[in-house]
Amino acid sequence: MTRPSERANDQLRSIEIIRNYTKHAEGSVLVKFGDTHVICTASIEEKVPGFLKGKNQGWVTAEYGMLPRSTGSRMDREAARGKQTGRTQEIQRLIGRSLRAVIDMQKLGERTIHFDCDVIQADGGTRTASITGAYVAMVDAVSTLLAKGLLTESPIKDSVGAISVGVYQGIPVLDLDYIEDSDCDTDMNVVMTGSGGFVEIQGTAEGEPFSRDAMNEMLDLAAKGIAELSKLQQQALAN
C-alpha cells in the first residue's frame, strides 16, 4: 500500500508551530499539520467560574470552531445556526481535558486560561493539531504571568501533544489526512504527555471492529509520533 500522500506509514505530515501569530492573546500559535491549520490562543482571565470560587485553584477551558469555508464544501456557521454541533462540543471538551491534565490547578491560582482553537484550513486531524498547538500557547501565556510576577513558579507539570492513528486499507498508519480519514477502518486519537503517559485514547471502528493487535500497533505509532511532536514543541519554545 502507498499512502495518498506518499508518506511512510509511521511518518508525520510536515509540522509547523508559529508563535505570537496574533498580537492580543497572552499565547497565540498558528499550528500546521500539513494542510490543517489552526489558530490556538490562550487568554488569561483573572477569575474562575462560579463553581470554583474561593477554592484556591485555577481553571482551564477550551472552545473550538471551524471557519465555514475551512473545509472542501462550506459548512453552516455555528453562530448563525445558533448552536454548536455535538462534534464541536466533543472536541472542545477533549482539548480542555488534555490541557488540564498537565497543569497544577492549585499552583495556577484563582485564574482561568481560556483556549480558543479555530481551524482556518482543514485536512484531517484538527483536534490533534489543536491540542499540540494549544500546549505551546499555554506555555507562552504562563510566561506572561511569570514575567509580571503574578506567578513565581510555573504550574505546568509536563508537555502534552496529540496525534491520530488509524487502520487505512488494512495497514496501521500515523497522522491521517482527510483522504485517509474519510476511508479508514479505524480512527484513533491519542493524547500523551511529553514523558510518555496516556492522557486520552479515543478509538472508533468506522467499519469492522478492530483487534487487540491492531490497537497495539496503533499505540506504538502514536507514541512515536507524539515523541516527535514533543521535540517540535520544545524547539518552537526555544526560539
Distance (Å, whole) CA 145 – CA 166:
39
* Residue 126 is labelled as binding a ligand: yes
Confirm or reject binding of residue 62 to its own copies (CB under 8 A).
no
Which region, judged by CB under 8 A, interacts with its own copies, from 12-20, 48-56, 208-216, 230-238? 208-216
Give the binding range for its own copies (CB under 8 A) out of 103-111, 146-154, 187-195, 226-234: 187-195
* Cβ–Cβ < 8 Å for 166, 187: yes
Contacts of 3 (CB under 8 A, 6+ apart): 9, 168, 173, 180
> Given the complex with its own copies, which of 205 and 227 has the nearer CB atom?
205
State how far the Cα of 202 lies from the Cα of 229, in Å rounded to an integer. Answer: 19
Query: Could you tell me if 38 and 30 are in contact, meaning their C-beta atoms sit under 8 angstroms apart?
Result: yes
Nearer to its own copies, 197 or 238 (CB): 197
Q: Which three cell numbers stand for residue 77?
A: 456557521
Residue 103 DSSP code: B
CA angle, 128 then 129 then 134, to 5°: 100
**Contact between 108 and 58 (Cβ < 8 Å):** yes
Given the rule CB under 8 A, which of 5-13, 72-80, 126-134, 226-234 is the region that contacts its own copies?
A: 72-80
What is the per-residue binding string for its own copies in 94-133, x denoting contact by CB under 8 A?
---x---x------------x-x-x-xxx-----------
Shortest separation between residue 181's beta carbon and its own copies, angstroms: 15
Q: How many CB atoms lie within 10 A of CB 217?
A: 17
Nearer to its own copies, 8 or 208 (CB): 208
Q: What are residue 29's phi and psi, to 5 degrees?
A: -130, 135
The answer to whether 209 contacts its own copies (rule: CB under 8 A) is: yes
To the question of whether residue 127 is assigned a binding role by annotation, the answer is yes
Which residues sit at the interface with its own copies, rule CB under 8 A? 22-25, 28, 35, 37, 39, 41, 43, 45, 63, 65, 67-72, 74, 77-80, 82-84, 86-90, 92-93, 97, 101, 114, 116, 118, 120-122, 158, 188, 192-193, 195, 197-205, 208-212, 215, 219
